Amino acid sequence: MAPFELLEPKSLSEALALLDADDARPLSGGTALMLMMKAGVLRPARLVSLSRLGLEKIERGPAGELRIGAMASLRKLETSEVVRAGWPVISRALLRLSNVRVRNVARLGGHLAHGDPHTDLPPLLSALGAQAQISGPRGERSIPVESLYSGYLETTLQRGELITRVDVPAMGKRRAAYLKCTTRSADDWPAVGVAVVLDGERQTIVVSAATDRPTRLASADAADALPIESDLHGSAAYKKQLVRVYVKRAIHEARSAD
Amino acid sequence: MKRAAPTETGQVGRSVPRLESWLKVTGRAEYVHNLRLPGMLYGKIFRSTVSHGRIKRIDVSAAQAVAGVYRVVTSKEIRQLVPEPYYGPAFHDQPILAIDKVRYVGEPVAVVLASDPHVAEEAAHLITAEYEPLPAVYDEVEAMTSKAIVHDELRPAGTFPDLKHLKGKKNTNVALDFHLRRGDAAKALESAHKVFEHRFHTQQVMHTPLEPLVSVAECTEDSLTLHTASQSPSFVRIEIARLLGWPENRVRVRVPFLGGGFGAKLYIKLEALVAVLSLLARRPVKVSLTMEEQFFTITKHATTFRIKSGVDGGGRIVARECEVWWNGGAYADIGPRVTQKSGFTAPGPYDIAHVAVDSYALYTNLPPAGALRGFGIPQLVWAYESHTDMMARELGLDPLEFRRKNLLLDGATHATGTVLRDAATGKVLERLAALMDWQKPFERGTAGLRRGRGIAIGLKACVAPTTSLAAVSVNVDGAVTVYCGTVDMGQGSDTAMAQIAAQVLGVAAESVKVVHSDTDVTPYDMATLGSRSLFHMGNAVKLAAEDARDKVAAVKKEAGFPADASLKDVFKKKYGMQAGSVLGQASFVPTYTSPDANGLTDNATPFWMVGASGVELEVDTETGQVRITRLVNVADVGTPINPRIVETQLAGAAIMQLGFTLSEKMEFDAEGQLRNASLAEYKIPGFHDLPASMVNEAVDAEQRSGPFGAKGVGETATFGVSPAIANAIHDAVGVRIMSLPLTPEIIFMKMQEKP
Amino acid sequence: MRREVRFRLNGEAVSAQVAPHESLVEVLQQSFGLYGARESCGQGLCGCCTVLVDGTAVSGCLYLATLAENAHVQTVEAGQELDAVQQAFIDSAAFQCGFCTPGFIMMTRQLLDEIPQPSEDQIKHYLSGNLCRCAAYPQIIEAVQLAAKKRRTA
């Protein structure tokens, strides 16, 4: 790994100031970042740690929404009673997300900002209508999690911007399911990830992994129109079949969810 | 798992907990991975980015200029010390660092030495090389006739007696071609009642031991010590001494525990490199590969196997032709032995009068292939046991019945002309059938989730001829020490050897000390591979222990003491002090007869291994995904020395083979670049891949020529897993897949092809 | 640019000179001679590098040593006697080459701390991030169940 300077700001404004530079990157959990730095893919001169900014809270907001601090670990999210009680689909999805050690260290903000389509929370949070609170050099803004993604490993975050919190609306009468399909060993990055949220007659279906970003399906039959390419997880034709099947199964599972 | 009834004095047949248990559960077991020596330099390898090319230029200047870099080495510097730096067990074809040409993507071209491994790695990124590309060949069958020639000239080694006959060849990619002829298969096929011909493929995979390959060398002016994660320390010593032109006793090779081997850590891997680097630098040198780099070092042969069988009206196989192409990659390693020694078992455990085998080791521009648990047998069984089921189905015969009809039984003559002795083929097949409840009708599941079952049985001949020497000392206080070159890589050899010596000498196995391989101390052993050690070294240790026992008895008698006198008293009288030890030693070399020009011999092997597997599974018909609900492995391992270790070896081998069957594959692009050289993209079995239920059993058997009736077990449960699964998939959904791995996509796509 | 990092290691106050890019495994090996945690896959997938930081299991090969400042780091070498988990691994023959074993032991202790009577499914889930190429998986499941029993009766 190339040497770098580690900075540990104690306030959000200090962190944002440090990040408004080309050669600085934020360090949240560091799981994905460390992999890319070890592989030589990323060689930042400076890493800005976000661990002292107090962004770890998981709590209910005034409108009954779930407020997840960007620095909440995936493991804390998985074991949170608040989440289990109000958004059990998230707890269930986290069970098969990587492994316990990774979840102990990985943070929600980093997980979302990485932009890797072969991850589980982006499609699920998109389907649940979650909002990302973002802070940056030009102030704060709030966008749907779905709008974070512009391509493979590409997000709409501008230079110096950080996700500080993710808000997930209360489930209400909605029912949801997330299914992850792996095609190599059982424990693997998803080849296809499907999130379904049912709200009365309305179906929200978001597909990821087979697509280069979380992609909303207009209807359950719209899988064939998806821009899917062949890769190590499978050919385009096969992945289309998987999307068709898993959309159907996710809808079925959502119907019987609590 | 059947176990021998524990006895108070019995040391063999008892599930003694591994001797090194405390070390392994406290993280204190010694691995070369951990070794740090004062003044040590780390070597980081710069590798070829083209699959075949002449080296025009290597520019190390930028790397050399990095602060903290000690030196950058290419073959130019290597040749100052070793003018002909080529090594290998079969051919001396592999250069320590690339000379003139590179032959596969990932081939080592240069090394950066630095005391900080991060600095070495950063500097290695700054090396550049220019190549003039040459036409490349990747497919084993294509390599037979391709104009792309990997080696301009072949140079045979003389290290192993059975490979001596290899003649150097030019203008060819064929490193070895083995032929076996028994009777007249071509003629018998012409007149057969029905003929079946099929072609099967297996893929290139890697062992991925969790301790990646690693070696350390430290030198004095005229001697060298290699601390290396190696299964073949004696071979390393011989080969390094040869390369340096030194007498063998100036090269010391020591091996602690291995963090897994599976055949990857054999012959020369990093040893020649660190040896020469250490001599150049006059400091200890360590080269420790990353998991990724292992894929560019040694792998398992991909294969193509054309098999043609003729049956008579009664369903008996009367003739078989086997043509096997082994993809050996850019350097031969031990491929020629795989081609020949496994090649002769290509006809399978079947009684066939007319047999023809043609087995070819091919050079291609891929990472080298060598030994991997099973040593070619799993690839062969994959083909012949899939073929067996296909024939049975077409003949309208039950797969078990068809096998019973044709099985080669103990006492019958194998295709090589060797009589099967102590090979419990019949017992293994019958026990498998019983455990599978094969006679009972099988529940087929639903349209969405179809169930199927399948069986397969395979046979392996232990490699021969090989030599093992051992020494056993009995201390004056009765403490026993075993000195042997067998390497414990997790198969439990330390414990087994201790049990054997303990049984002979009447002490508790737990009290025996086993000295790890150190060529300054432990005598010659061919290597720890191919499930040979329990039989060969076990016999040597048994004989050495008996020698020690006899010498103890003699020294007591000679000094006029009764047989139950303590050695302390004897020595006090005889030598004037109650200190000393008695050393027993022995060698074990089983008989062997070289095959004749037809590949035939009446003594091909000192023992056979028999392994069978049965599988029950479900296929999700909408996705092709497979869930194995039951995996049964039955083996002939003779009489187990340590029943629990035997059980874990059967389970471990079968689960490893599951990976090779369902998910593992080295994926190359059109330029020979590997796309999945990491555990993130090359998926090995984890907890969620386990069959819902597993049964592992050793049948009641005895290897009469083995130590206390035992023989090897490490590879046996790899044999039948792949074809049993393919046979079960066919049983479930009626599709037949001819190549590995059996991925969900391949199963699903094949199902769509069915009318 | 090395700087001194102070932390507790297996209960003892220690310090080490650490460069920012050095991992916890590297520092544990180089500065403290502790080799139970090993880098194998280098990607956090195999678990051979498992250590505890403030009671939480992490992949030591991906954990920057600098971030251990003021934390309590625990490795498999802690403790004088074999605990119930280690003894259960021995009794169940739950290792072969042993390279992955410390990682499994560390994770099993965490699992049993959180779920004292885990089902087989829970065991598989919790340990799914630990790989064993020797495939001692069936025996490891037995060991975890035995360790749970030993802890219960202790």
- The DSSP code for B39 is T
Count CB atoms within 10 A of the CB of residue A9.
18
The answer to whether the Cα torsion of A140, A141, A146, A152 is positive or negative is: negative
- The DSSP code for A235 is -
Kindly state whether B68 is in contact with chain A, defined as any CB-CB distance less than 8 angstroms: no
In this predicted structure, what is the pLDDT of residue B154?
A: 82
Distances (CA, A) of B626 to A226, B380, B620, B664, B687: 26, 23, 6, 15, 16
In this predicted structure, what is the pLDDT of residue B6?
A: 40
Place of tokens 């040497």: A3
Kindly state whether C95 is in contact with chain A, defined as any CB-CB distance less than 8 angstroms: no
CATH classification of the domain holding A70? 3.30.465.10
Asked whether residue A191 falls in the same domain as residue A222, the answer is: yes
Contact B648 C136 (CB under 8 A): yes
- Against chain C, the chains showing at least 3 CB pairs within 8 Å are A, B
In this predicted structure, what is the pLDDT of residue B8?
A: 46
Asked whether residue B267 falls in the same domain as residue B307, the answer is: no
What is the rounded CA–CA span in Å between residue B653 and residue C136? 10
- State mean pLDDT over B465-492: 96
- Structure token pair of residue B396: 């309208």
Is residue A104 a contact partner of residue C57, using CB atoms and an 8 Å limit?
yes
HSE-CB for A87 with a 13 A CA cutoff: 31
Asked whether residue B584 falls in the same domain as residue B602, the answer is: no
Asked whether residue A201 falls in the same domain as residue A164, the answer is: no
Is residue B638 a contact partner of residue B710, using CB atoms and an 8 Å limit?
yes
What is the rounded CA–CA span in Å between residue C76 and residue B198? 53
pLDDT digits (tens, 9 = 90+) for B489-510: 999 999 999 999 999 999 999 9
- Residues of B with Cβ-Cβ distance to C38 under 8 angstroms: 31, 33-34, 211, 259
Kindly state whether C14 is in contact with chain A, defined as any CB-CB distance less than 8 angstroms: no
Contact B749 A184 (CB under 8 A): no
CATH classification of the domain holding B108? 3.90.1170.50
For chain B, how many structural domains are there in total? 3
Residue B148 domain-assigned (yes or no):
no
The C-alpha angle with vertex B686 and arms to B684 and B687, in degrees rounded to 5, equals: 165
In this predicted structure, what is the pLDDT of residue B159?
A: 59
Those residues whose C-beta lies under 8 Å from the C-beta of residue B290, and which sit 6 or more positions away, are B212, C42
Domain stops at, among A140, A168, A196: A168
Shortest distance between the Cα of A200 and any Cα of chain B, in A, equals: 28
Asked whether residue A138 falls in the same domain as residue A201, the answer is: no
- The DSSP code for C149 is H
Residue B160 domain-assigned (yes or no):
no
Q: Which of residues 115-134 of C touch A (CB under 8 A)?
A: 125-126, 128-130
| pLDDT at position B10 over 60 | yes
Domain stops at, among B556, B588, B620: B588
Helix (H, G, I), strand (E, B) or coil at B594: coil
The answer to whether the Cα torsion of C76, C80, C84, C86 is positive or negative is: positive
Asked whether residue B25 falls in the same domain as residue B36, the answer is: no
Domain that holds residue B561: 21-30+466-588
Kindly state whether C50 is in contact with chain A, defined as any CB-CB distance less than 8 angstroms: yes
In this predicted structure, what is the pLDDT of residue B5?
A: 40
**How are beta strands B69-73 and B449-461 bridged, if at all?**
unpaired
Of B107, B140, B715, B745, catalytic? B715
Measured in degrees and rounded to the nearest 5, phi and psi for residue B718 equal -85, -20
In this predicted structure, what is the pLDDT of residue A106?
A: 96
Place of tokens 């029993």: C149
**How are beta strands B41-47 and B53-59 bridged, if at all?**
unpaired
Among the partner residues C50, C64, C107, nearest to A30 by beta-carbon distance? C64
Those residues whose C-beta lies under 8 Å from the C-beta of residue A39, and which sit 6 or more positions away, are none
The whole-chain average pLDDT of chain C stands at 97
Contact B118 A189 (CB under 8 A): no
- Structure token pair of residue B405: 């009809």
pLDDT digits (tens, 9 = 90+) for B557-573: 999 999 999 999 999 98
Asked whether residue A98 falls in the same domain as residue A163, the answer is: yes
Asked whether residue B26 falls in the same domain as residue B52, the answer is: no
pLDDT digits (tens, 9 = 90+) for B63-98: 999 999 999 999 999 999 999 999 999 999 999 999
Contact A101 C42 (CB under 8 A): no
Kindly state whether B667 is in contact with chain A, defined as any CB-CB distance less than 8 angstroms: yes
Kindly state whether A98 is in contact with chain B, defined as any CB-CB distance less than 8 angstroms: no
Asked whether residue B252 falls in the same domain as residue B315, the answer is: no
Those residues whose C-beta lies under 8 Å from the C-beta of residue B566, and which sit 6 or more positions away, are B478
Asked whether residue A119 falls in the same domain as residue A203, the answer is: no
User: What is C3-74's CATH number, 3.40.50.410, 1.10.1060.10, 3.10.20.30, 3.40.109.10?
Assistant: 3.10.20.30
Asked whether residue A179 falls in the same domain as residue A135, the answer is: no
Residue B184 domain-assigned (yes or no):
no
Residue A117 domain-assigned (yes or no):
yes
Asked whether residue A160 falls in the same domain as residue A85, the answer is: yes
Residue A182 domain-assigned (yes or no):
yes
The C-alpha angle with vertex A4 and arms to A3 and A5, in degrees rounded to 5, equals: 140
Asked whether residue B276 falls in the same domain as residue B308, the answer is: no
Asked whether residue B607 falls in the same domain as residue B723, the answer is: yes
Residue A83 domain-assigned (yes or no):
yes
Count CB atoms within 10 A of the CB of residue C113.
10
Residue A250 domain-assigned (yes or no):
yes
Q: How confident is the model at residue B7 (pLDDT cuts 50, 70, 90)?
A: very low
Q: How confident is the model at residue B1 (pLDDT cuts 50, 70, 90)?
A: very low
Place of tokens 């049912």: A198
Is residue B692 a contact partner of residue B516, using CB atoms and an 8 Å limit?
no
Domain stops at, among A105, A133, A168: A168
State the pTM of this model.
0.97
- Residues of C with Cβ-Cβ distance to B300 under 8 angstroms: none
In this predicted structure, what is the pLDDT of residue B657?
A: 98
pLDDT digits (tens, 9 = 90+) for C32-41: 999 999 999 9
Asked whether residue A64 falls in the same domain as residue A138, the answer is: yes
Asked whether residue A127 falls in the same domain as residue A68, the answer is: yes
Asked whether residue A151 falls in the same domain as residue A209, the answer is: no
Report the chain B residue with the minimal C-alpha distance to residue C91.
Answer: B17
pLDDT digits (tens, 9 = 90+) for B303-312: 999 999 999 9
Is residue B120 a contact partner of residue B277, using CB atoms and an 8 Å limit?
no
Q: How confident is the model at residue B168 (pLDDT cuts 50, 70, 90)?
A: low
Residue B490 domain-assigned (yes or no):
yes
Strand partners, B178: B359
Asked whether residue A142 falls in the same domain as residue A196, the answer is: no
What averages of pLDDT result for each successive group of 10 residues across chain A (258 residues)? 88 95 92 89 92 96 97 97 97 95 96 94 98 96 97 94 97 97 94 96 95 94 92 95 97 90
* Active site (annotated) includes residue B8: no
| pLDDT at position B407 over 60 | yes
What is the rounded CA–CA span in Å between residue B390 and residue B198? 9
- Structure token pair of residue B738: 């001819």
Domain with CATH 3.10.20.30 in chain C: 3-74
Range with the lowest mean pLDDT among B4-8, B437-441, B533-537? B4-8
For chain A, how many structural domains are there in total? 2
Residue A72 domain-assigned (yes or no):
yes
Backbone φ/ψ region at B696: left (φ over 0), alpha (ψ -120 to 50), beta = beta
In Å, how far from its chain's centre is CA A184?
22
Asked whether residue B340 falls in the same domain as residue B246, the answer is: no
Measured in degrees and rounded to the nearest 5, phi and psi for residue C144 equal -65, -40
Shortest distance between the Cα of A237 and any Cα of chain B, in A, equals: 9
Asked whether residue B673 falls in the same domain as residue B602, the answer is: yes
| pLDDT at position B731 over 90 | yes
- Residues of A with Cβ-Cβ distance to B122 under 8 angstroms: 2
Is residue B323 a contact partner of residue B141, using CB atoms and an 8 Å limit?
no
Among the partner residues A2, A96, A105, nearest to C58 by beta-carbon distance? A105
Counting every residue written for chain A, the total comes to 258
Residue A19 domain-assigned (yes or no):
no
Asked whether residue B237 falls in the same domain as residue B345, the answer is: no
CATH number for the domain running over C84-153: 1.10.150.120
Kindly state whether B260 is in contact with chain C, defined as any CB-CB distance less than 8 angstroms: yes
Domain with CATH 1.10.150.120 in chain C: 84-153
Contact B749 A238 (CB under 8 A): yes
Concatenated DSSP letters for B30-57?
-BGGG---TT-EEEEEEE-SSSSEEEEE
| pLDDT at position B160 over 60 | no
Measured in degrees and rounded to the nearest 5, phi and psi for residue B434 equal -65, -45
Strand partners, A142: A133
Kindly state whether B694 is in contact with chain C, defined as any CB-CB distance less than 8 angstroms: yes
Backbone φ/ψ region at B735: left (φ over 0), alpha (ψ -120 to 50), beta = beta
Contact B675 A187 (CB under 8 A): no
Q: How confident is the model at residue B207 (pLDDT cuts 50, 70, 90)?
A: very high
Contact A6 C20 (CB under 8 A): yes
Contact A6 C66 (CB under 8 A): yes
- Per residue in B279-309, is it b (16+ CB within 10 Å) or e — as a string? bbbebbbbbbbbbbbbbbbbbbbbbbbbbbb
Asked whether residue A157 falls in the same domain as residue A195, the answer is: no
Domain that holds residue A127: 58-168
| pLDDT at position B4 over 50 | no
Kindly state whether C102 is in contact with chain B, defined as any CB-CB distance less than 8 angstroms: yes
Domain stops at, among A126, A149, A168: A168
**How are beta strands B53-59 and B69-73 bridged, if at all?**
unpaired
CATH classification of the domain holding A219? 3.30.390.50
